[in-house]
Amino acid sequence: MRKLLTIAICAVALLVLCSFTAATAAQVTLRFSDWHLTEDVWNKSLNEAMAVFHKQHPNIKVVLEPVSYKEKETKYTVESEAGRAPDVFHVHAFSLPMFFGKGYAKDLTPFIKKEGPGFLDAWYPLPNKLMEYNGKMHAMPGDYMTMVLFYNTEMFKAAGLDPNKPPKTWKEFLSYAKKLTRDTDGDGKVDQWGFGTVGAKSPGFSMRFGPFLWSFGADYLTPDMKKSALDSRKAREAFTFFVELYTKYKVVPPGLTAMNPQEVRTQFAQKKVAMILGSGWTPPIVNKINPDLNAFEVLKCAPAPMKTKPATAIWLSSWVMSPNTKHPQEAWELMKFITSKDSELKWFVDNRVTSARKDVSGVAPEILNDKFASVMASQLPYGMVEPQIKQWPEIMDTFTTSVQEAIVGMKTPQKALAEADERINAILAR
Amino acid sequence: MWIKDRYMWIAFVLPGLLLLILVLGFPAITSILYSVKAEQAGTYTLAHYNYLLKDPFFMTTFWNTAIFVFASVATHMILGLAVAMVLNSAIPARPLFRLIALLPWVVPDVVAGIIWKWMFNPIYGAVNDVLLKVGLINTSVEWLSNPKLAMFSVILVNLWRGFPFVMLILLAGLQAIPPHLYEAASIDGASKPQMFFHITIPGLRKMIVVALALDTVWEVRRFGLIQAMTQGGPGILTEVLSTYTYKQYFQFFRFEYASSVAVVMTIVLLLVSLPYIWMISQEE
């Protein structure tokens, strides 16, 4: 009897041990990295979402890895080269060609196939296309927004402008900007400017220059992306117009070439500039910089002004799975969760960013009834994307260098643009 | 004793040597290999070095670096020596002033860059505000956007940021000069400038060489400050080799070309360090 009891106890103990070991083995830890984790509102939102994900997938523990907006490419490059990138991470769409080319993104096709036909139909076709490498999905689309013109209605009224009639063309825009450039305290010096924009070498520059170039009917590269398309009358007009806002009309505050997006938003929040180009992130950030402005009430937005055709820049982010992940299936579950309809709607409600999902941005009443998001969503058909080629960051840096040289008067706009054209062709021919 | 005395030095040297190989040797060799790597796997080329010689941005960046380093090191030496001499004299609250003088050195590069960028801001910046109030300027100056001022502004901030390092070395050197030399010179009727040129400078010779060499190496590598203040702009007027390498590597993903720039930068640094190594060996 005692022998039997001993055997039974041993068997139970073994079973308990086995089940414990199995449970421990099933617990998977994923590393998730996103620059949004460094931003207060987004951080709260992502933490809430991760709690929901953990409830749905108790066997998956997600470790959040914040990274600054500026450092994300550096971090992911270094870690990918070392074979220890986060399992899932968030990057700009324009970084994708480099990441794809270097093999930093796992092919998601097998997972998508398993989800069944029509899985990708929930997303707009353009973002889906941009996630492809060699015809296969290597990332999932994230935030998808257009750049629009934000303006301060109180400053409009003070300058005698109707806040319900924002400028529709660049000609009107210039006339508005001139009226909004004023000496408000009567000391004889201009202390308020019509338009604030980015002039520093920052990814934010191309997002804000694109609406100028494209709406003038020009483009950076030829359709086959083999040559520069800047040697054209339309490109010269757009380039000169942009530069002269600063050099000739002086409707942009001083120090343009050192201004990055956050500094421009600060100028806007402090009522130093009356109009800026921005997107979904603009109202919450401006509100945070200066809560006294009452940004959600005072600000309005309108489609970016146009010259010959409506056109604006598109902001698109993407979610990437590292090829080094040891838990691809769990990483896919996480990617699916953060790009799900519910999550994408949460990102909008909490953070005001619209989604690359049609079934969110195209139909959600929260978006369609929002005074900012509705304008952004209306511009999606006119949205243009920067060329998705691996040379693009270098091309954009070269182009920004030329813009800066023209802005500070080192070269005429024509000469600076001609040099940019020549240098870009050299980069593409290399 | 299981290790014979004559081989004992190997046991002492080996851990350090292995660490050096791991921390310095491996990345250095990897960089050199990258710099000669061709697109086709397993093949090597000097094409990146050839391109480097033709790259107009690289040549401008090289000269910008030379100007930045020369101006920074020269001003660090002058201000560092001046402050070191003041802090070596019998002034009241000397420890407090020594601490204050060291503060800029404690601030991280990027933080210093961001702070000074705000201070130079033409609309909100404290620098313009002060200069306008005291009547030195009539309108706001675009410190970082004016092509004639951008490099000057960066060097000015780097002077503030980097002089404490030189000051610290020279202060240690000053304290090592025997006071009786000054007393004897004073009894002999030597003037202050005579004492400076005939006692202080010769007494500091070794420390000056150390400070020159180390500061030059530091300034060639200076990255965070410039990246935070100007990102190399306007145009490429403040682009230096460190920011250019970073850009090629992490923004353009041209690992091979970035490595060739880094290798050239290292060779230049080694050449700069040679006089220092030679002088130190002469001393010994």
The answer to whether A62 touches A30, Cβ cutoff 8 Å, is yes
Of the pLDDT bands very low, low, confident and very high (cuts 50, 70, 90), residue A70 is confident
Sign of the CA dihedral running B100, B106, B107, B110? positive
pLDDT > 90? residue B283? no
Look at A256 and B233 and tell me if their CB atoms are within 8 Å: no
- Answer yes or no: do A257 and B234 touch at CB < 8 A: yes
The distance of A372 to chain B (nearest Cα, Å) reads 29
For residue B249, give the chain A residue with the closest CA. A74
Rounded to the nearest integer, the mean pLDDT of chain A is: 92
Nearest CB to A405; choose among B117, B235, B251: B235
The mean pLDDT value for B169-191 works out to 94
Residue A327 neighbours by CB under 8 Å, 6+ apart = A28, A30, A60, A87
Q: Which of A253, A256, A404 sits opposite B235 (nearest CB)?
A: A404
Question: Who has greater pLDDT, B283 or A297?
Answer: A297
Per-residue pLDDT band at B284 (split at 50, 70, 90): low
Residue B213: CB partners within 8 Å, gap ≥ 6? B272, B273, B275, B276
The confidence score (pLDDT) of residue A22 equals 47
Indicate if the pLDDT at residue A271 is higher than 70.
yes
Residue in A with minimal Cα distance to B234: A404
Task: Classify burial at A244, counting beta carbons within 10 Å of its beta carbon; exposed 0-12, middle 13-18, buried 19 or more.
Answer: middle
- pLDDT of B281 reads 75
Q: Model pTM?
A: 0.87
Q: Do A102 and B233 touch (CB under 8 A)?
A: no
Decide if pLDDT at A8 tops 60.
no
Token pair recorded at residue A130? 């941009």
Statement: residue A23 has pLDDT above 50:
no
SS3 state at A150: strand
Mean pLDDT in residue range A233-247: 98
Check pLDDT > 80 for residue A257. Answer: yes
The shortest CB-CB distance from B145 to any of A77, A256, A263 is to A256
Instruction: Render pLDDT for A354-369 as a digit per residue (tens, 0 to 9).
Output: 999 999 988 899 999 9
Contact B230 A73 (CB under 8 A): no
Q: Which residue has the tokens 């290597």?
A: A138
CA distance B139 to B130: 12
Cβ contacts (< 8 Å) between A390 and chain B: which residues? 253
Cβ–Cβ below 8 Å for A255 and B144: yes
Pairing of strands A312-321, A88-92: antiparallel
Per residue in B250-281, pLDDT (tens digit) is 889 899 999 999 999 999 888 888 887 787 77
| Shortest CA gap A411–chain B (Å) | 10
Span B212-222, pLDDT tens digits: 989 999 999 99
Per-residue pLDDT of B58-101, as tens digits, reads 999 999 999 999 999 999 999 999 999 999 988 888 888 888 88
CA distances from A158 to A163, A172, A301 (A): 10, 18, 18
E-only strand ranges, chain B: none
Range from A21-25, A46-50, A114-118, A184-188 carrying the lowest mean pLDDT: A21-25
Q: Residues of A near B (CB-CB distance < 8 A)? A: 73-74, 77, 98, 101-102, 189, 199-202, 253-258, 263, 267, 270, 272, 390-391, 393-394, 397, 400-402, 404-405, 407-410, 430
Q: Residue A420 — very low, low, confident or very high, per pLDDT cuts 50/70/90? A: very high
**Which residues in A lie closer than 8 A to residue B251 (C-beta atoms)?**
73, 393-394, 397
pLDDT digit string (tens) for A327-380? Answer: 999 999 999 999 999 999 999 999 889 999 999 988 899 999 999 999 999 998
Structure tokens at B145: 């956007």
Chain B hits for A401, CB-CB cut-off 8 Å, are 233, 235-236
Kindly report, residue by residue over A99-116, the tens digit of the pLDDT.
999 999 999 999 999 999
Q: What is the pLDDT of residue A20?
A: 46
Report the pLDDT value the prediction gives residue B40, as an integer from 0 to 100: 72
Give me the pLDDT at residue A245, please.
Answer: 98
The pLDDT of residue A430 is: 85
- pLDDT of A226 > 50? The answer is yes
Determine the average pLDDT of the residues in A5-11: 57
Residue (of A340, A400, A362) closest to A200 by Cα position:
A400
Across the interface, do A394 and B235 touch by the CB < 8 Å criterion? no
- Spatial contact of B177 and B42, defined as CB atoms under 8 Å apart: no
From B75, B232, B76, select the one nearest B147 (Cα to Cα).
B232
Q: pLDDT tens-digit profile of B131-175?
A: 999 999 988 999 999 999 999 999 999 999 999 999 999 999 999
**B121 to chain A: which residues are within 8 Å by CB?**
255, 263
Q: Counting Cβ atoms within 10 Å, is residue B206 exposed (0-12), middle (13-18) or buried (19+)? A: middle
Q: Does the distance separating the beta carbons of A254 and B140 come in below 8 Å? A: yes
Nearest CA in chain B to A202: B231
The token duo for B177 is 């000069």
Q: Which of B51, B252, B254, B257 is the best substitution to test chain A (most A C-beta atoms within 10 A)?
A: B252
Nearest residue on chain B to A389, judged by CA atoms?
A: B252
Q: What is the pLDDT of residue A4?
A: 55
Whether A404 and B250 lie within 8 Å, measured CB to CB: no
Measure CB to CB from residue A253 to each of B123, B147, B232 and give the nearest one: B123
Number of H helices, E strands in chain A: 20, 12
Smallest Cα distance from A338 to chain B, Å:
27
Mutate to test the interface with B, among A183, A408, A417 (most CBs of B within 10 A): A408
Residue in this structure with the two tokens 């391109």, named with its chain if needed: B51
Task: Identify the pLDDT of residue A21.
Answer: 47
Q: Is the pLDDT of residue A158 over 90?
A: yes
CA distance B118 to B126: 8
> Does the beta-carbon distance from A77 to B252 stay under 8 Å?
no
Using CA atoms, how far apart are residues B23 and B15, in angstroms rounded to an integer?
Answer: 12
B93: left (phi over 0), alpha (psi -120 to 50) or beta: left
- CB contacts < 8 A (A, B): 80
How confident is the model at residue B98, as a pLDDT?
86
Partner-chain contact B145 A98, CB within 8 Å: no
Average pLDDT (B44-67) is 92
CA atoms within 13 A on the CB side of A107: 7
Judged by CB atoms closer than 8 Å, whether chains meet at A263 and B122 is answered as no
The pLDDT tens digits of the residues spanning A188-197 come to 899 999 999 9
**Number of H helices and number of E strands within chain B?**
14, 0
pLDDT score recorded for residue B170 = 95
* ipTM topping 0.95: no
Mean pLDDT across chain B, nearest whole number? Answer: 91
By C-alpha distance, the chain B residue nearest A266 is B124
Average pLDDT over every residue of B167-195: 94
Chain centroid offset of residue B111 CA: 17
Q: What whole-number distance in Å separates Cα of residue B162 and Cα of residue A86?
A: 36
Q: Chain A: residue nearest B236 by CA? A: A401
Rounded average pLDDT over A270-276: 97
Tell me which residues of chain B have a C-beta less than 8 Å from any C-beta of chain A.
51, 117, 120-124, 139-140, 142, 144-147, 229-236, 247, 249-254
Nearest CA in chain A to B253: A98
Residue of A nearest to B239 (CA): A401
How confident is the model over B182-202, as a mean pLDDT?
94
Task: Report pLDDT for A40.
Answer: 81
- d(C-alpha B181, C-alpha B176), whole Å: 11
